[in-house]
Structure 1
């Protein structure tokens, strides 16, 4: 833990859709140490990256514990336990959850990956827009289902939901399903905050959402990583009541 701006300790969270990049495996140990994060959630995590992350636990003073299931790799150096097994599928959206303890507060941490509109967008570029409306409906349905799974029975405790939502910040589904949480970058980021870069296509679809127990000290998007997506980092503090 480190001292954040304005005093007090901060919880650093990183979310990163790695696009199943195998190249990341050769650098992930260095990256994790540079991030100095308390919680790291990764989507589309290739087996090679998962294996490389296992070695981080052997690096002196890191003390990370790794959870992996389906496409997710989740690492934390906080006291933790498995909260929920993964739910869903690639076509219906996926999610996975652990529970951590930080500064005496129990925090449910969910990582999500909603269906991609990639195929629909490629078809539209070739002159066929038929799949676009279907893609919007699929992602809207997935968002509602994953939000229900993650938030309906949490009992009002502290929650972080981070991952590739495949929904821009102005999305109707994002606002409808996740309105009980706040967007870290929207509160404390700077600029457009694009997280996904595919040619000329740039969009902010990777988000860190937090419950009312947190204040967001800082949020930013990193750059220079071997995938179309880039990591998002947020530094959080517990609101003293």
Structure 2
């Protein structure tokens, strides 16, 4: 046909040319996602091995962990494009590591209990985000024991007026509100260098017998993170404060609960060293990540509850954002009184 050869069009090569380009981009995304992923995993391995002994380790311990999950999931999504089963499998394992050990995901759940003891722990941030709203929030808590940290000077009197039928005790910036009789209060002496021990112990007479409760709030790591001169002292004092709590709980065999703003995330070497043989409420029966700080978009589980073998946790959950920079922790447990 006249002009037929001129009218015939050559097969388009746009698709073939675009495919290598897309693959090159995918490889770059995969490469950098794996680099970020491995760097983050290395940081967390350093935390486990070194512990809180330097500012770098502290930064890794208290930094948000969401970037680890984002990088790992991104790498897992892109990995199948390589058609390499080993790489896909490794990224699947990496996702599990990111979700569970690194991010701290728990898949537990509440257990049935007829008459549990209900405890709430709440760092109230000195009432700086609204004292009336804070008192309303505490008033709505359905708990037998409420442990408050970072309270303000007039809070004790206001709480007594709000809870006329409850026993209360105020010491420093700690406050206890409970429906149980307070049998004894332990206000610990300062540490050897005069630093506050930052906890208060109580003996309560519950329906199931005596219970020791420790309201704790060791030093925040803020000074260690942002002031070179304070790093070593801050790390040492926080560890000594936790050690002082553990020395107090070992003095008798009454079942005990330790709760409060521990300032110790799950990967903390200090936490593992001193609290590792206790039952962690969220580890036992929590579901999700259990993050409590910062309240608006939390990424750390530092408000925690621990207990001896004679305490059996049946529920653990985190409250909604309220009038504080922390979220409240709610736990329920049974007391084994048959030993």
TM-score for the superposition, normalised by structure 1: 0.83
Query: Following the alignment from structure 1 to structure 2, what is the Cα–Cα distance between the partners of residues 120 and 199?
Result: 23
Structure exhibiting the larger radius of gyration computed from Cα positions: 2
Indicate how the Cα distance of structure 1 residues 201 and 12 shifts in structure 2: closer, same or farther if over 3 A, else same: closer
In structure 2, the residue corresponding to 1:20 is in which secondary structure?
Answer: helix
Q: What RMSD in Å do the two structures reach over aligned CA positions?
A: 2.5
Please say if 1:97 is aligned against 2:201: yes
Name 2:259's counterpart in structure 1.
162
Name 1:76's counterpart in structure 2.
178
Name 1:135's counterpart in structure 2.
234
Query: Following the alignment from structure 1 to structure 2, what is the Cα–Cα distance between the partners of residues 130 and 224?
Result: 34
Contact 1:78/1:102, CA 8 A, preserved across alignment: yes
Deviations 1:25-61 (A, max 9, x none): 3134432342111001111111233232111233xxx
Name 1:206's counterpart in structure 2.
303
Name 2:48's counterpart in structure 1.
none
What runs of 5+ residues in structure 2 fail to find an aligned partner? 1-109
TM-score for the superposition, normalised by structure 2: 0.61
Q: CA deviation at 1:17?
A: 0.9
Deviations 1:5-42 (A, max 9, x none): 52420100011111111445313443234211100111
Q: CA deviation at 1:171?
A: 1.2
What runs of 5+ residues in structure 1 fail to find an aligned partner? 124-128
Name 2:220's counterpart in structure 1.
116
Query: Following the alignment from structure 1 to structure 2, what is the Cα–Cα distance between the partners of residues 138 and 240?
Result: 35
Q: CA deviation at 1:203?
A: 1.0
Query: Following the alignment from structure 1 to structure 2, what is the Cα–Cα distance between the partners of residues 164 and 202?
Result: 14
Query: Following the alignment from structure 1 to structure 2, what is the Cα–Cα distance between the partners of residues 105 and 31?
Result: 29
Q: CA deviation at 1:130?
A: 6.5
Q: 1:85 aligns with which of 169, 175, 187?
A: 187
Deviations 1:136-188 (A, max 9, x none): 3332222212321x2231x2211011111111122111121123421111111
Name 2:245's counterpart in structure 1.
146
Name 1:6's counterpart in structure 2.
112
Where do 1:164-179 residues align within 5 Å? 164-179=261-276
Indicate how the Cα distance of structure 1 residues 100 and 240 shifts in structure 2: closer, same or farther if over 3 A, else same: closer
Query: Following the alignment from structure 2 to structure 1, what is the Cα–Cα distance between the partners of residues 124 and 139?
Result: 17
Deviations 1:41-99 (A, max 9, x none): 111111233232111233xxxx2111001111101001222331244389544111221
Of Structure 1 and Structure 2, the greater strand share is in 1
Of Structure 1 and Structure 2, the greater helix share is in 2
